Structure 1
């Protein structure tokens, strides 16, 4: 029984470590995707808006 539980504990520990690594990878990936979306939003919304504002100042 003691050997069984020792083997079980080692197996659970390995699964736990693998899940921790997977969680870190998923968190870093989500952060990178968030940064990408912020950058794209800036390029697609704020830069054209700034161009429109600059053009309207020239006309006014």
Structure 2
């Protein structure tokens, strides 16, 4: 389920960035929250795929 929600948030982030524009996207606190969630989940996913056990 973690991967599913990561993909959903990733799509949402891209859609909002294209709708708002890059600069306006990062002026909204809720968009920052989406961005942080996607980055943290992506780092966790990539580290697990590369067997970097010290990260997660």
- After TM superposition, the score normalised by the length of structure 1 is 0.40
- After TM superposition, the score normalised by the length of structure 2 is 0.42
Counting helix residues as a fraction of each chain, which structure ranks higher? 1
